């Protein structure tokens, strides 16, 4: 007699295939669910494999468009980078994948969900927190395994699937112009060959292509997992790296200094929440709304060059620029009296003078 129905986040690989068989052996009816978020995968072969292993139903869902628009774009607005280096492509994908898994579970009346995340990783937390948030009564059927990758071992060259080795990339750059509105790209034009893209999925896919061609977005890091241990991670985020560089530039050009300072802190908080699996938490919802508000004037065009593993900013323009050429010029006084700087400096020096007077440092050599 069946113990119930479980929706398994299935990839077609060894791990989730073993889990599918194990769940069947435990007496569950298994629905296999494959999410297409842009990975290079033979989905039809995965379907046939799931069928042969005894899946009751199989869902193959194309989530690429909603992944870009609902998850990647808010992350671009946030300049989301975990621990200053990781652009979180995997972390951002999990709430997208799990959201659809929950929708299928509800539709099919499944009491359980399952996944192939490791017992010591972050993904189990991301999957399960999303499922519990969106389907509170669901139960998670667990099958855990662990893996280790020693940090002193150099990554083999064939580990990278999206990006060329920068040493083997073209000897001529691709020069791009990226147009932003409300902090997200609305158009990218390759000025080298005239190719232009303006739909969100097309833009992101094209930036992945160009970045991969030039070896952009590779990192090899040791990161702090949410559960408290350090782990080594090797990631490729070619399109995301180009987007981050361009967005940072147009944001600085158009955003008030103090607003941006607050927004930078929100971006760090957003990154931690997403990395730790709290996309569907009330605090993350609040932070996303605040970040979106900050992006209302982040509009304009950025010109950049992609070449040999690097992204170089060439220029920018915006109808909402806060850059005032006359005000900042050393040759034109403009609406600014340099004499005011003396008073400004003296006022700011009061605190420093008092600190050093109190500490008795004024006569000491530092």
Residues 309 and 227 in one domain: yes
pLDDT computed for residue 165 by the predictor: 95
In a domain, 31, yes or no: yes
Same domain, 121 and 199: no
Whole-number pLDDT of residue 154: 85
Pair (302, 342) in one structural domain: no
pLDDT value, residue 153 = 80
pLDDT tens digits, one per residue of 205-215: 999 999 999 99
Tell me what pLDDT residue 176 has.
98
Residue 73 sits in the same domain as residue 44:
yes
Q: What is the pLDDT of residue 326?
A: 64
Domain boundary at 121, 149, 177, which? 149
pLDDT band at 151, cuts 50/70/90?
Answer: confident
Residue 227 or residue 187, greater confidence = 187
Q: Which domain holds residue 185?
A: 166-317
Residue 175 lies in a domain: yes
Choose among 40, 301, 24, 8: nearest CA to 176: 301
Report the pLDDT value the prediction gives residue 341, as an integer from 0 to 100: 87
For the record, the structure tokens of 66 come out as 């909603």
Model pLDDT, residue 121: 81
Look at residue 156 and tell me if it is in a domain: no
Q: Report the range of poorest mean pLDDT among 171-185, 251-265, 329-343.
A: 329-343
Tens of pLDDT along 24-72? 999 999 999 999 999 888 999 999 999 999 999 999 999 999 999 999 9
Last residue of a domain, one of 120, 149, 178: 149
pLDDT, one tens digit per residue, over 306-331 is 999 999 999 999 999 998 776 666 66
Task: State the average pLDDT for the chain.
Answer: 92
Among 149, 182, 209, the domain boundary falls at 149
Average pLDDT over residues 96-107: 97
Q: How many domains does the chain have?
A: 3
Same domain, 12 and 79: yes
> What confidence category does residue 364 fall into, taking pLDDT thresholds of 50, 70 and 90?
low
Same domain? For 126 and 75 the reply is yes
Q: Are 240 and 270 part of one and the same domain? A: yes
- 89 inside domain: yes
The CATH number linked to 274 is 3.90.1260.10
The C-alpha atoms of residue 196 and residue 178 are separated, in whole angstroms, by 10
DSSP state of 237: -
Q: Tokens representing 228?
A: 């408290």
pLDDT score for 330: 60
H or E element at residue 302: strand 300-307
Model confidence band, residue 162 (pLDDT cutoffs 50, 70, 90): very high
pLDDT computed for residue 338 by the predictor:
78
Which of 266, 168, 164 lies closest to 215, judged by CA? Answer: 164
Residues 310, 336, single domain; the answer is no
Alpha helical stretches, state H, 12-55: 14-25, 43-53
Mean pLDDT, residues 249-274 taken together: 97
Same domain flag for 234 and 138:
no
Question: Residues 59, 118: one domain?
Answer: yes
d(CA 108, CA 103): 9
Mapped onto helix, strand or coil, the DSSP state of residue 85 is: coil
User: Would 161 be classed as within a structural domain?
Assistant: no
Quick check: is 326 in a domain? no
Residue 227 pLDDT grade (very low, low, confident, very high; cuts 50, 70, 90): confident
pLDDT band at 143 (very low <50, low <70, confident <90, very high): low
Q: Determine the pLDDT at residue 363.
A: 56
133 domain residue, yes or no: yes
Helix, strand, or coil here: 288? Answer: helix
Residues 96 and 211 in one domain: no
Contact 97, 35 (CB under 8 A): yes
| pLDDT tens digits for range 165-222 | 999 999 999 999 999 999 999 999 999 899 999 999 999 999 999 999 999 999 999 9
Q: Of the given ranges (38-42, 98-102, 106-110, 283-287), which has the lowest mean pLDDT?
A: 38-42
pTM: 0.91
- Per cent of the chain over pLDDT 70 is 94
Domain CATH for 27? 3.40.50.620
239 in a structural domain: yes
Spatial distance between the Cα atoms of 10 and 99, rounded to a whole number of angstroms? 14
For residue 144, pLDDT over 60 is answered with: no
Q: Looking at the structure, do residues 187 and 259 belong to the same domain, yes or no?
A: yes
């Amino acid at each position: 007699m069946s113990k119930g129905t479980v929706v398994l986040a299935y990839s077609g690989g060894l791990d989730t295939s073993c889990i599918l068989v194990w769940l069947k052996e435990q007496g569950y009816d298994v629905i296999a669910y494959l999410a297409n978020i842009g990975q290079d995968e033979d989905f039809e072969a995965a379907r046939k494999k799931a069928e042969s292993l005894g899946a009751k139903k199989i869902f193959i869902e194309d989530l690429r468009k909603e992944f870009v628009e609902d998850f990647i774009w808010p992350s671009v607005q946030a300049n989301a980078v975990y621990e200053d280096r990781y652009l979180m492509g995997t972390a951002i994908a999990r709430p997208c994948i799990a959201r659809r898994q929950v929708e299928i579970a509800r539709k099919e009346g499944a009491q359980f969900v399952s996944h192939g995340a490791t017992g010591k990783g972050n993904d189990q937390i991301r999957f399960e927190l999303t499922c519990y948030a969106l389907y509170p009564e669901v139960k998670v059927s667990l099958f855990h395994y662990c893996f280790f990758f020693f940090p002193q071992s150099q990554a083999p060259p064939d580990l990278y699937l999206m990006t060329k080795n920068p040493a083997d990339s073209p000897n001529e750059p691709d020069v791009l112009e990226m147009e932003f509105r409300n902090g997200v790209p609305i158009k990218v034009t390759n000025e080298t060959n005239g190719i232009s893209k303006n739909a969100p999925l097309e833009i992101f896919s094209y930036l992945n292509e160009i970045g991969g061609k030039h070896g952009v977005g590779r990192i090899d890091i040791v990161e702090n997992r949410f559960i408290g241990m350090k782990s080594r991670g090797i990631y490729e985020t070619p399109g995301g790296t180009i987007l981050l560089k361009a967005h940072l530039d147009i944001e600085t050009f158009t955003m008030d200094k103090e607003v941006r300072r607050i927004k930078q802190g929100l971006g760090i908080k957003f990154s931690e929440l997403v990395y730790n699996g709290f996309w569907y938490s009330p605090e993350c919802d609040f932070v996303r709304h605040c970040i979106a508000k900050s992006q209302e004037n982040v509009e304009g065009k950025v010109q950049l060059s992609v070449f040999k593993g690097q992204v170089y900013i060439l220029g920018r323009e915006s109808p909402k620029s806060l850059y005032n050429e006359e005000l900042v010029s050393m040759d034109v006084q403009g609406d600014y009296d340099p004499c005011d700087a003396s008073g400004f400096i003296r006022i700011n020096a009061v605190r420093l003078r008092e600190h050093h007077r109190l500490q008795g440092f004024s006569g000491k050599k530092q």
